[in-house]
Structure 1
Amino acid sequence: MQFTSDNAAAVHPALWRAMHAADAADSPYDNDALSRELDGAFSRLFGRECAALWVATGTAANCLALAALVPPHGGVVCHREAHIEMDEAGAPGFYLHGAKLMLAEGDSARLTPASIAAVIDPIRDDVHQVQPHAVSITQASEYGCVYRPAELAAIGAFVRARGLGLHIDGARFANAVAFLGCAPAEACAGADVLSFGFVKNGGMGAEAIVFFDPEMARVIRYRRKRAGHLQSKGRFLAAQILAMLEGDLWLDNARAANAAAQAIAAAAPGRLLHPVEANEIFLATSPAERAALRAGGFEFYDWGKDAARLVTAWDTNPDHAAALARAIARL
């Protein structure tokens, strides 16, 4: 019974069907009919003109998005536990040619205007110090916590007042939207660019970089090629993304994952280290308790020596989630 990662989940059958349907001769790279549909599909989803590029990985999506906002001599403010800091092996510095990550604090891996200000206010406005050019937040955060629209509005207003860009790492953006029950645009309000995740939500190998200023995408098309992410048969990436957007499959999948997480969290209110708002559960557990859960057939990751991380997915078996809830309650 697997609760290690939503990356381990199966590919949704609708995506296999879409990729099979795309298996016909068409123009290469991103000039095929499906890739040309992406701008319109995301523009309709967000209710404003967008430009969207596919890439194969979330790391590439985040770093290419930031490359549109930050020069090599600049800096990006992010949470000290953000994925771009902890889990991308220095890729932001590689893609941004040396730009610096400026680490901020915040509960449940979320930032606020005050925590951003605490990082950038002490920086002198001179050539001897790296100047901030953008802020990157994660929706939902690394601890599965969701920014509310009002919180996003406050960050967006602060960022604009300081002349900075705003990037949102949306590896689990679908889970955030499903939790909020709002329009997608409200869950990324104020962003200049969104890394819209699909792989964790039933995709096979496609993520989208959504630019809310279409002109920003122009130079990133060149950077995507230079980075080795312009796939020659890009129609298969576009097919996955369009299949997820069709009929709001992306939201249905996220709702299923969130529901499974809630079923597990309900069994352990006293153990929760962070609010469960998406599809991740962080539980206070001893090594012996984790061993007992594993002996019961449950797979998950340790989170330090006194906690466990449990992740549900679109295809989490409800019986497995219920069994895990019962096992946690018995600890």
Structure 2
Amino acid sequence: MFFASDNWAGAHPAINERLSKESTRFAAAYGTSELDQAIEQRFNEVFEREVAVFFVATGTAANSLSLASVAKTGGVVFCHSEAHVIEDECGAPDFFSGMRMVPVEGPNGKMLTANLVERIARYPQDAVHHGRAAAVTMTQATEAGTIYTLDEIEEIARIAKTNGLPLHMDGARFANALMALGATPAEMTWKRGVDVLSFGGTKNGCWCAEAIVFFDPGLAKDFAFLRKRTAQLFSKSRFIAAQFEAYLKDDLWLGLAGHANTMADRLRAGFGSLNSARLAWPTGANEVFAILPKASARAAEEKGAKFYDWLEPRDMPETVGTDEMLIRMVTSFATTEEDVDQFLSICRG
């Protein structure tokens, strides 16, 4: 019963097989192999337009370098107050971009557009003492497990463009959000005004595969130098390309995300039928937040369940009792119905 994180899951067999096959041959290094170039073309097909693609090792690198690519001296970046870039990346986006992350509040992990407008207005381009607006970044799916609708993405993009700011999307769980919305990759990104995407594969069945996607290749004209200077240019980058080849083939990535979401739906439905535990708030992808008695949580842990107790968000819709706890559960491509049902059975007591 592994629900701590989709990072805990291993790699999908098809991706392992493709890596094994790649390990037996020679190929040009530093992203110049035929496989690297073929996968770059594959990204064009996935997003229905010419894009510039750069492979990196981690989601933190993808987010940090995406923002560094649009950096302004003295710039600030607007993000949700509990976004990964401001809460969980040890200041890496600030370090690599030279900019500060500025929080924008909103319920359930999503920035309120009114708050975004107000916050941007505090940082005009001549604000030499406290910095100037430089970019907006949004997380899809959010840290609260919720999903920005296509209209919400478009509205945030409109606000960004009105202020001359590029919009970055942190897509660590991009495929899960895509399946939850039933949208295409193009519809959830550039067709709604997203400029740069952190495209995550590691949480969804890859071993180590993240990519930065620029929807206007002109924005990436100097990015190769930035990636090299920040030690993210792999000599054997074809091993990332190989993962993406298997990941994208026959829409494996969408099937894996769909399964993870279905397992989360099973958890959500199960918690809805319990008297002793309840959902903390509605979620839409593969993260589930629940409130349950501490005794039930301890019993689950004693029987091998793995999950994280979670800090109450600033806008927590209800109070957690003194004998209760808030937990986060994340499903993955490797989660089974038996895992879910066993955990729910423990919670029933």
Question: Normalising to structure 2: TM-score of the pair?
Answer: 0.91
After TM superposition, list the pairs within 5 Å mapping 1:158-307 onto structure 2.
158-188=159-189, 189-269=192-272, 271-304=278-311, 306-307=325-326
2:153 matched residue in structure 1: 152
| CA offsets 1:234-279 (integer angstroms, 9 cap, x no match) | 0001111121111111100000100001101111137212212111
Return the letter of the residue paired with 1:327.
Answer: I
CA contact (8 A) 2:281 2:289 kept: yes
1:120 matched residue in structure 2: 120
Shift in Å, 1:158: 1.3
Shift in Å, 1:285: 2.4
Shift in Å, 1:36: 1.0
Q: 2: distance between equivalents of 1:296 and 1:201? A: 26
Change beyond 3 A, Cα 1:237–1:296:
same
| CA offsets 1:77-118 (integer angstroms, 9 cap, x no match) | 00111101111111012111x311111101111113212112
The yes-or-no answer on 1:103 pairing with 2:103 is yes
Shift in Å, 1:174: 0.3
2:314 matched residue in structure 1: none
Shift in Å, 1:35: 1.2
Q: 2: distance between equivalents of 1:299 and 1:123? A: 43
Q: 2: distance between equivalents of 1:220 and 1:286? A: 50
Matched residue pairs, number?
329
Q: 2: distance between equivalents of 1:65 and 1:258? A: 27
Q: Does 34-43 or 139-148 show the bigger shift?
A: 34-43
Q: 2: distance between equivalents of 1:159 and 1:39? A: 28
Q: 2: distance between equivalents of 1:35 and 1:123? A: 40
| CA offsets 1:129-177 (integer angstroms, 9 cap, x no match) | 2111110000000011111111111111111111101000000000000
2:22 matched residue in structure 1: 22
1:142 matched residue in structure 2: 143
SS at match of 2:283: coil
Return the letter of the residue paired with 1:114.
Answer: A
Q: 2: distance between equivalents of 1:322 and 1:146? A: 25
Q: Does 253-262 or 34-43 show the bigger shift?
A: 34-43
Q: 2: distance between equivalents of 1:112 and 1:170? A: 19
Return the letter of the residue paired with 1:293.
Answer: A
Stretches of structure 2 that go unaligned for 5 or more consecutive residues are: 312-323
| CA offsets 1:42-70 (integer angstroms, 9 cap, x no match) | 11111111111111100000111111112
Q: 2: distance between equivalents of 1:109 and 1:141? A: 6
Shift in Å, 1:298: 1.2
Shift in Å, 1:126: 2.9
Q: 2: distance between equivalents of 1:145 and 1:173? A: 12
Shift in Å, 1:21: 2.4
CA contact (8 A) 2:80 2:105 kept: yes
CA contact (8 A) 2:104 2:112 kept: no
Q: 1: distance between equivalents of 2:294 and 2:344? A: 18
Q: 1: distance between equivalents of 2:169 and 2:48? A: 18
CA contact (8 A) 1:138 1:170 kept: yes
CA contact (8 A) 1:261 1:276 kept: no
CA contact (8 A) 1:176 1:187 kept: no
Q: 1: distance between equivalents of 2:281 and 2:28? A: 47
SS at match of 1:308: strand
Q: 2: distance between equivalents of 1:56 and 1:123? A: 33
2:333 matched residue in structure 1: 314
CA contact (8 A) 1:66 1:167 kept: yes
Q: 2: distance between equivalents of 1:103 and 1:65? A: 18
SS at match of 1:129: coil
Q: Percent identity?
A: 41
SS at match of 2:222: helix
SS at match of 1:127: coil
Return the letter of the residue paired with 2:66.
Answer: A
Shift in Å, 1:187: 1.8
Stretches of structure 1 that go unaligned for 5 or more consecutive residues are: none
After TM superposition, list the pairs within 5 Å mapping 1:3-22 onto structure 2.
3-22=3-22
Q: 2: distance between equivalents of 1:167 and 1:38? A: 22
CA contact (8 A) 1:144 1:277 kept: yes
| CA offsets 1:268-299 (integer angstroms, 9 cap, x no match) | 13721221211111111243231122133311
